[in-house]
Amino acid sequence: MIKTELLTKKFGNGRGIFELGLDVPAGAIYGFVGHNGAGKTTAIKILCGLMRPDSGRAFIGDLEVKASNTAKIKRMVGYMPDITGVYDQMSVWEFLDFYGAAFKIPPKIRKNRIEEVLALAGASEMIDYQVSSLSRGMRQKVGLAKTLIHDPAVLILDEPAGGLDPNARIEMRRAIAGLKKLGKTILLSSHILPELASICDVVGILNKGHLLAQGTVKEISEKIQENLSIMLVVDSDAQQALDLLHQVEGVESAVLADVNEIQISFTSGRELAGSLLHFLIENGVKVRWFAENEVDLENVFLNITSHTVSGTDNNR
């Protein structure tokens, strides 16, 4: 649903984006990961038709993002910037009604549409609030409702949880997950990695304007050969299990995390993890649980960006 080909925009001094190749599947939540200043907002502005690239192409569905398609692109895309502009002198209803009118939604339809988008954003009770009275979290919800007013197929959300307190971040996450269930394709930019890991189907890792990797967190982790993290729970002597593990080639570390729980860092890959389990059982260890720990997006991000800096990974 979103695709870029060799997309480039240079600002000098190594700043910008370089030969970017995003591939966002329809109906997916795509997490756009990167440090502040990595180039995420530049890419987003080009996708929304707010900035022209120096070279390369971008597509929303079958439409190329270019001047002649701007009106159609704006109908397809709902863009929520990192700071939502609001009109303090309006009520929330007036604010959304204004945007509904801008998208030429007929007055008879607008009332119901405003109620619908506020419900989707988790902000129904705010309909009569004065915009000037809204907290940061409330403004973000109203900003999300505004983004949805014309029922776009694609949502591009730039740091939607930035500056929010923990409760507001949870509510925003729930709202975004609910929008996916409606069939929306969502590109979600953030540098708050745990936020992305919890809801995204696919991630793209951007560093200094270069796309280093994209795919599921597990796929990227496997590609850079990150150590396998395994949790082992035993019903027998944990020390016996530890002693055995330290004899196995590929076990980088094995530490007792709880009375009968051992955390293992295994370098030999998933294909040999089964033989590790077999070895333990064969030597009398009573295994209650043996499973791979969920891959941590922060570790993957730090791993792949450090590989690139050191020159061991040139994947763009």
Answer yes or no: is 302 within a domain.
no
Q: How many domains does the chain have?
A: 2
Say what the pLDDT of residue 259 is.
86
Task: Name the pTM for this structure.
Answer: 0.76
In whole angstroms, how far apart are CA 185 and each of 8, 109, 195?
23, 24, 17
Answer yes or no: is 202 within a domain.
yes
| Residue 251 contacts residue 202 (beta carbons within 8 Å) | no
Say what the pLDDT of residue 105 is.
96
In whole angstroms, how far apart are CA 23 and each of 5, 17, 85, 185?
9, 15, 29, 12
Say what the pLDDT of residue 227 is.
75
CA-based Rg of the chain, rounded to a whole angstrom?
24
Mind listing the pLDDT tens digit for each residue in 176-188?
A: 999 999 999 999 9
Domain ranges, residue 170: 2-222
The CATH number of whichever domain residue 286 belongs to comes to 3.30.70.100
In a shared domain, residues 86 and 124? yes
In a shared domain, residues 132 and 215? yes
Contacts of 44 (CB under 8 A, 6+ apart): 32, 79, 156, 158, 187, 189
Mind listing the pLDDT tens digit for each residue in 95-117?
A: 999 999 999 999 999 999 999 99
Q: What is the pLDDT along the chain (316 residues), one digit of tens a residue?
A: 999 999 999 998 889 999 999 999 999 999 998 888 889 999 999 999 999 999 999 999 999 999 999 999 999 999 999 877 788 899 999 999 999 999 999 999 999 999 999 999 999 999 999 999 999 889 999 999 999 999 999 999 998 887 788 888 888 889 999 999 999 999 999 877 766 777 899 999 998 999 998 998 778 766 665 678 899 999 989 999 999 999 999 999 999 988 899 999 888 877 788 899 999 999 999 999 999 877 667 667 776 776 554 443 433 3
In a shared domain, residues 121 and 218? yes
d(CA 292, CA 311): 29
Helix extents (H) in the chain: 40-47, 70-76, 92-102, 107-120, 136-148, 166-181, 193-199, 217-223, 238-245, 273-282, 297-310
Say what the pLDDT of residue 267 is.
86
d(CA 218, CA 226): 10
The CATH number of whichever domain residue 6 belongs to comes to 3.40.50.300
In a shared domain, residues 34 and 81? yes
Say what the pLDDT of residue 307 is.
56
Say what the pLDDT of residue 292 is.
84
In a shared domain, residues 15 and 66? yes
In a shared domain, residues 19 and 99? yes
Answer yes or no: is 307 within a domain.
no
In this structure, are strands 29-33 and 55-60 parallel, antiparallel, or unpaired? Answer: unpaired
Q: What end-to-end distance do the CA atoms of the chain give, in Å?
A: 21
Say what the pLDDT of residue 308 is.
53
Answer yes or no: is 98 within a domain.
yes
In a shared domain, residues 138 and 255? no
Answer yes or no: is 301 within a domain.
no
In a shared domain, residues 132 and 233? no
In a shared domain, residues 193 and 235? no
